[in-house]
Amino acid sequence: MFKEKINKQFGFTLIELLVVISIIGFLATASMVVFNSVRIKARDTRRKADLTQIRKALDLYYDANSAYPSSSGAWRSACPSYGGYPTSGATGYIPNLAPTHIGKLPIDPSPCSNGNGYLYYSDTVNYKLLSHVSPESYPSAGQPFYDPFRPTWAWMLCSANTTVCNTW
Protein backbone atom coordinates (compact mmCIF):
# COMPACT_ATOMS: atom_id res chain seq x y z
CA MET A 1 0.00 0.00 0.00
CA PHE A 2 2.02 2.87 1.20
CA LYS A 3 5.58 2.68 0.32
CA GLU A 4 7.89 4.08 2.88
CA LYS A 5 9.93 6.85 1.47
CA ILE A 6 13.58 6.38 2.30
CA ASN A 7 15.61 9.54 2.21
CA LYS A 8 19.26 8.69 1.69
CA GLN A 9 21.59 11.63 2.02
CA PHE A 10 24.84 11.67 0.15
CA GLY A 11 27.51 14.30 0.77
CA PHE A 12 28.07 16.90 3.45
CA THR A 13 26.25 19.99 4.52
CA LEU A 14 27.72 23.39 3.88
CA ILE A 15 28.42 23.92 7.58
CA GLU A 16 30.32 20.63 7.84
CA LEU A 17 32.45 21.59 4.85
CA LEU A 18 33.20 25.04 6.28
CA VAL A 19 34.22 23.56 9.64
CA VAL A 20 36.58 21.06 8.00
CA ILE A 21 38.10 23.71 5.70
CA SER A 22 38.69 26.10 8.61
CA ILE A 23 40.36 23.34 10.67
CA ILE A 24 42.62 22.43 7.75
CA GLY A 25 43.48 26.12 7.25
CA PHE A 26 44.35 26.55 10.92
CA LEU A 27 46.56 23.45 10.94
CA ALA A 28 48.32 24.55 7.74
CA THR A 29 49.03 28.00 9.18
CA ALA A 30 50.34 26.58 12.45
CA SER A 31 52.61 24.11 10.68
CA MET A 32 54.03 26.85 8.41
CA VAL A 33 54.95 28.97 11.45
CA VAL A 34 56.70 26.02 13.08
CA PHE A 35 58.42 25.02 9.84
CA ASN A 36 59.68 28.58 9.24
CA SER A 37 61.24 28.80 12.72
CA VAL A 38 62.97 25.45 12.13
CA ARG A 39 64.40 26.76 8.84
CA ILE A 40 65.67 29.91 10.58
CA LYS A 41 67.39 27.86 13.29
CA ALA A 42 68.92 25.55 10.68
CA ARG A 43 70.38 28.51 8.74
CA ASP A 44 71.75 30.02 11.96
CA THR A 45 73.35 26.72 12.97
CA ARG A 46 74.95 26.41 9.56
CA ARG A 47 76.28 29.98 9.72
CA LYS A 48 77.91 29.31 13.09
CA ALA A 49 79.47 26.09 11.82
CA ASP A 50 80.71 27.76 8.62
CA LEU A 51 82.29 30.70 10.45
CA THR A 52 83.96 28.34 12.92
CA GLN A 53 85.29 26.20 10.06
CA ILE A 54 86.71 29.27 8.30
CA ARG A 55 88.32 30.41 11.56
CA LYS A 56 90.10 27.07 11.93
CA ALA A 57 91.33 27.25 8.34
CA LEU A 58 92.59 30.81 8.95
CA ASP A 59 94.48 29.59 12.02
CA LEU A 60 96.12 26.88 9.89
CA TYR A 61 97.01 29.49 7.25
CA TYR A 62 98.50 31.77 9.91
CA ASP A 63 100.58 28.92 11.36
CA ALA A 64 102.02 28.21 7.90
CA ASN A 65 102.53 31.83 6.74
CA SER A 66 102.81 33.99 9.91
CA ALA A 67 100.11 36.26 8.47
CA TYR A 68 96.46 36.12 7.52
CA PRO A 69 95.40 36.35 3.86
CA SER A 70 95.10 40.01 2.84
CA SER A 71 91.80 41.39 1.67
CA SER A 72 93.60 44.31 -0.03
CA GLY A 73 91.83 46.90 2.10
CA ALA A 74 88.29 45.94 1.13
CA TRP A 75 85.53 43.63 2.29
CA ARG A 76 85.47 40.50 0.14
CA SER A 77 82.63 38.04 -0.40
CA ALA A 78 81.26 35.51 -2.85
CA CYS A 79 78.20 37.77 -3.18
CA PRO A 80 78.17 40.16 -6.15
CA SER A 81 77.57 43.22 -3.95
CA TYR A 82 81.02 42.65 -2.39
CA GLY A 83 82.98 41.58 -5.44
CA GLY A 84 81.54 38.16 -6.24
CA TYR A 85 84.84 36.39 -5.58
CA PRO A 86 85.16 32.63 -6.14
CA THR A 87 85.17 30.10 -3.29
CA SER A 88 88.74 28.88 -3.79
CA GLY A 89 92.14 29.80 -5.15
CA ALA A 90 94.26 32.95 -5.13
CA THR A 91 91.27 35.07 -6.13
CA GLY A 92 88.85 33.53 -3.61
CA TYR A 93 87.01 35.78 -1.21
CA ILE A 94 89.65 34.70 1.29
CA PRO A 95 92.71 34.51 -0.99
CA ASN A 96 94.71 31.26 -1.02
CA LEU A 97 92.78 29.70 1.86
CA ALA A 98 91.05 27.07 -0.27
CA PRO A 99 91.79 24.38 -1.30
CA THR A 100 94.99 24.14 0.81
CA HIS A 101 93.53 24.80 4.28
CA ILE A 102 89.83 24.24 3.61
CA GLY A 103 88.25 22.30 0.76
CA LYS A 104 86.07 25.17 -0.46
CA LEU A 105 85.03 28.44 1.13
CA PRO A 106 81.42 28.14 2.31
CA ILE A 107 78.69 30.51 1.20
CA ASP A 108 75.80 31.77 3.28
CA PRO A 109 72.67 29.57 3.24
CA SER A 110 70.53 32.60 2.32
CA PRO A 111 70.62 34.00 -1.21
CA CYS A 112 73.12 36.79 -1.87
CA SER A 113 70.76 39.73 -1.75
CA ASN A 114 70.60 42.93 0.27
CA GLY A 115 74.22 42.46 1.35
CA ASN A 116 73.63 39.02 2.92
CA GLY A 117 76.56 36.63 2.86
CA TYR A 118 79.94 35.90 4.42
CA LEU A 119 82.41 38.77 4.32
CA TYR A 120 86.14 38.83 5.03
CA TYR A 121 88.47 41.72 5.87
CA SER A 122 92.12 41.49 6.87
CA ASP A 123 95.21 43.63 7.15
CA THR A 124 97.33 40.40 7.42
CA VAL A 125 97.81 41.00 11.18
CA ASN A 126 94.13 40.76 12.11
CA TYR A 127 91.03 39.53 10.35
CA LYS A 128 87.29 39.82 10.71
CA LEU A 129 84.68 37.41 9.38
CA LEU A 130 81.11 38.57 9.08
CA SER A 131 77.87 36.89 8.31
CA HIS A 132 75.33 39.50 7.26
CA VAL A 133 72.04 38.10 8.44
CA SER A 134 68.46 39.12 8.14
CA PRO A 135 66.76 40.03 11.39
CA GLU A 136 65.97 36.36 12.04
CA SER A 137 68.23 36.27 15.05
CA TYR A 138 71.41 37.84 16.21
CA PRO A 139 73.46 37.50 19.39
CA SER A 140 73.29 39.86 22.33
CA ALA A 141 76.27 41.65 23.83
CA GLY A 142 78.64 39.21 25.49
CA GLN A 143 77.49 36.21 23.44
CA PRO A 144 79.68 34.46 20.87
CA PHE A 145 79.51 35.97 17.36
CA TYR A 146 78.33 39.35 18.71
CA ASP A 147 79.50 42.30 16.59
CA PRO A 148 79.35 45.59 18.54
CA PHE A 149 79.76 47.55 15.29
CA ARG A 150 76.74 45.82 13.68
CA PRO A 151 74.72 44.50 16.64
CA THR A 152 71.44 43.87 14.83
CA TRP A 153 72.45 42.62 11.40
CA ALA A 154 75.73 40.71 11.51
CA TRP A 155 77.59 37.96 13.29
CA MET A 156 81.37 38.12 13.54
CA LEU A 157 84.45 36.15 14.30
CA CYS A 158 87.70 37.98 14.82
CA SER A 159 91.39 37.40 15.26
CA ALA A 160 92.77 37.79 18.76
CA ASN A 161 92.89 41.61 18.67
CA THR A 162 89.21 42.36 19.10
CA THR A 163 89.86 46.07 19.70
CA VAL A 164 90.91 46.46 16.07
CA CYS A 165 88.14 44.18 14.83
CA ASN A 166 85.45 46.12 16.66
CA THR A 167 86.25 49.20 14.56
CA TRP A 168 85.95 47.47 11.17
Q: Is residue 120 part of a domain?
A: yes
Q: What total number of domains does the chain contain?
A: 1
Q: What tens digit of pLDDT does each residue of 12-53 get?
A: 889 999 999 999 999 998 888 888 888 888 888 898 899 999
Q: Is residue 2 part of a domain?
A: no
Q: Is residue 25 part of a domain?
A: yes
Report whether pLDDT(89) > 80: yes
Write out the DSSP string of the chain. Answer: -PPPPP----S--HHHHHHHHHHHHHHHHHHHHHHHHHHHHHHHHHHHHHHHHHHHHHHHHHHHHSSPPP-TTS-EESSGGGT---SSSTTSSSTTTTTTTSSS----SS-S-TT-EEEEEE-SS-EEEEEE--TT--PPTTSTTB-TTSTTTEEEEE-S-HHHHTT-
Q: What tens digit of pLDDT does each residue of 112-166 get?
A: 776 678 999 999 999 999 987 766 677 778 888 888 888 888 889 998 877 777 7
* Structure confidence at residue 34 (pLDDT): 80
Q: Is residue 28 part of a domain?
A: yes
Q: Is residue 70 part of a domain?
A: yes
Model pTM above 0.75: yes
* Structure confidence at residue 4 (pLDDT): 64
Domain containing 67 equals: 17-165
Q: Is residue 7 part of a domain?
A: no
Q: Is residue 155 part of a domain?
A: yes
Q: Is residue 10 part of a domain?
A: no
